[in-house]
Amino acid sequence: MKATRRALALALVLAPAASFATKVPIPIEGATLNVSFQIQPQFLINQAGTPDGTGASYDVYVRRTRLLVNGDLGPNFSYLIQVDNANFGKWGNFTGRAIIQDAWVGWAPTGITGPTVIYIDAGILLVPFSHHLLESTTNFVTADVQADAFRFPGNAFPAFRDTGVQIRGWLLNKKIGFRGGVYEGYTPAAATLGGAPANTNTAAAANCTPATPGSCVTPKRYPMLSGFVNLDIIGSEEGGWLYGAYKWGKDPILSVGGAVNYQSLAIKNAFGSLTDVRVISGDVYLNLPMTEAAELVAEVTAYGNGNGKGSGNTGLGLSGNLGYRFGSIAPYVAFDYFTSSDCDAAQLTAAQFTTCVGKAGTLGTNHSADSRNFKAGLNFFFNKNLKHLNVEFQTNHGTSGYGPQSINNGNAAYAPLSIDPAVAGGPRRTIASLSSLAQPVFKSLLVHWNFLF
């Protein structure tokens, strides 16, 4: 049981940290129950983030507040339930948003420990889009997840979780990790209710009329399919629920991974037609310890995002980070890049091509969501990844989860007028008035505190 508790705690903190969770005795033979609590306050300054766009905005909020309960039920079953209250107080929004974010039971027919383990999980699951998106939120190189190169528009999945059934585990003495299965995916209800801010790929509200062909997304109600495989070339990082950046170990780790995600006719393209969703990713992860007191971490992920013809969210995404920990301090740099696929006049009608590239007074959908974002920061570790503080400087060019471009009517009740007037004496403009890379580069400063016990 001790090995089992360690494996499950590894999923959260990626260190043998079972002792950091509170073990609750229960009167069920062979069963364990562990309780953990995570809180992540953040302080964010966005250049040109005020309503008039002439000053910096300041936000203090709690990025994540999580209560996690996990354990074993005998030698063949594991379970996990996690409640999250995400982004509480961001932009002054204190409405309730606590949800059961994770809730699953896993059955391992041959046992939950050992060099080869195969789980069958069912419940609310983390969809496997890439190695990076399967990492613990306590243990990124950067302060928070890097998601600007990954495009899954208009989805209603909280923190990339969805209901489903999957196979998960590791093989060949933990040299191959894998997970994948069948998930609910996009549905007419999710599109109609508006699970995310509208974009050219999202079915509009009340836009499902069964008698009208092409009105409803997923008209055949096919589920989403997703799978991920991780090959550990040197060392191993398998054995837990999640991966992580820093290991505090002695042995080097080099792994390569890949993921495929697909759902039929799940969204609408830039021209209002149903189209499939396809996301393919490939990644390389390196952890190179110099001593137990120092380690280099590097990770690169490429995403092939397929969201239909003419979409600003169809294209190539690249994400990478590099960190070096010496003792309790780790400086790091990171980047996120996305460029949409160009419009092909040979495959489009004249009207579609105009929609794609734009015309005088109207922006095109093509290259409307490109990204060139950079991060540099310091991570101060007080107790490994359980307690640490990030101070991170960011430059945001185009679509970004930070900067004034991340502020809109849907989340903050205003869109900042961050763009100077087109002519002297004219009105200031919103960022949406310019195509993504025609916008200026905006800066941000993020202070992120992680506490887990």
CA angle 85, 89, 94 (to 5 degrees): 80
Q: Is the CB of residue 301 less than 8 Å from the CB of residue 319?
A: yes
Segments forming the whole domain that contains residue 309: 2-452
The residue among 10 and 420 whose pLDDT is bigger is: 420
* Cα separation, 314 vs 270, whole angstroms: 10
Taking residues 71-97, report their average pLDDT: 94
Cα 307–Cα 373–Cα 383 angle in degrees, nearest 5 = 110
Q: What are the pLDDT digits (tens) for 28-81?
A: 888 999 999 999 999 999 999 999 999 999 999 999 999 999 999 999 999 999
Q: What are residue 402's phi and psi, to 5 degrees?
A: -130, 175
Q: What is the pTM of this model?
A: 0.90
266 three-class SS:
strand
439 with 431: CB under 8 angstroms?
A: yes
CATH assignment of the domain containing 27 = 2.40.160.10
- Find out whether 180 and 227 touch, Cβ atoms under 8 Å: yes
Cβ atoms < 10 Å from Cβ of 227: 16
Which amino acid does the sequence have at 122?
A
Q: What angle do CA 225, 227, 228 make, to 5 degrees?
A: 160
Confidence at residue 18, expressed as pLDDT on a 0 to 100 scale? 39
Largest CA distance in the chain: 77
- Count of domains in the chain? 1
Q: Specify whether the CB–CB gap between 6 and 16 falls below 8 A.
A: yes
pLDDT in tens, 268-286: 888 988 999 999 999 999 9
Q: For the chain, count helices (H), then strands (E).
A: 4, 19
Burial of 428 (0-12, 13-18, 19+ CB in 10 A): middle
The proportion of the chain whose per-residue pLDDT surpasses 70, expressed as a percent, equals 92
| Structure confidence at residue 20 as a pLDDT band (50, 70, 90) | low
